[in-house]
Amino acid sequence: MNKKILLVLILIAATAAVFLFPSDEKKIRNNLDSLAEYCSSASKETAIAALKKVALAGKLCSDPCMIQIESFDIHRDFKKKELTDHILMMKKMLPDTHFTFHDTTINFPLDNRAELATTLRLTGKIDTDRFTEAYELSITADKIDGDWLFSSFSVVEFMEQ
């Protein structure tokens, strides 16, 4: 009986540890899911709700944050204000767009740095036409003051005309 109680207590403690002390990988995955949620916009999203979400998305990124999109000739650091302004503009331009990240792999080349490879999937509507786009992203996350923040986003361009 004592052994059974001990085993149950150990199981409860282990389960609590998993939920209360998530691993770095779990924290990063949670942040990525949150980023997708904050960047997504519903068609009837109010301006205040959009502003709140954009501010939260900004908090998940470092300041500055490097953005690289070769096909648009973008390869530079964005200050937090500039980044959140662009996210807000994008939400206004694409009011019914859903962001999700799939097939995410995370490596830790250093204790305070993580490298992610992931698929960004965008689904939405422009006028009356539905669209679905997918992009391969390389993301870097750095541990700054105990929090994992995304410090660079790069669209992987594998096809060269």
Partner 1 sequence: MEPTYGNGSFAFCWRPHYLFSQIERFDVVTVRFTGKNVMLLKRVIALPGEVLEFRQGILYINGKQIQEPYVQYRTPWDLAPRKIKPGHVYVVGDNRGTSMSRHRFGQVNINRIIGGVIP
Binding site for partner 1 (CB under 8 A): 102-103, 118-119, 134-136, 156, 158-161
CB-nearer residue toward partner 1: 34 or 119: 119
Say how many CA atoms lie within 13 Å of 89 toward its Cβ: 6
- Residue 65 Cβ vs partner 1, minimum distance, rounded to whole Å: 21
153, containing H or E segment: strand 147-155
Tell me the C-alpha distance between 65 and 80, whole Å. 7
**Which CB sits closer to partner 1, 145 or 160?**
160
- Compute the least distance from the CB of residue 115 to partner 1, in Å: 16
- Please work out, in degrees rounded to the nearest 5, the angle formed at the alpha carbon of residue 91 by the alpha carbons of 71 and 152: 50
- Whether residue 22 has a cis bond before it, omega within 30° of 0: no
Nearer to partner 1, 59 or 98 (CB): 98
Using the minimum distance from each CB to partner 1, give the nearer residue, 20 or 159.
159
Query: Two tokens at 106?
Result: 């995370």
Please state the closest distance from residue 117 (CB atom) to partner 1, in A.
8
Tell me the closest approach of the beta carbon of residue 133 to partner 1, in angstroms.
Answer: 10
CB of 140 to partner 1, least distance (A): 18
3-state secondary structure of 138: strand
Residue 34 or 104: the one with the smaller Cβ distance to partner 1 is: 104
Measured between its terminal Cα atoms, the distance across the chain in Å is 71
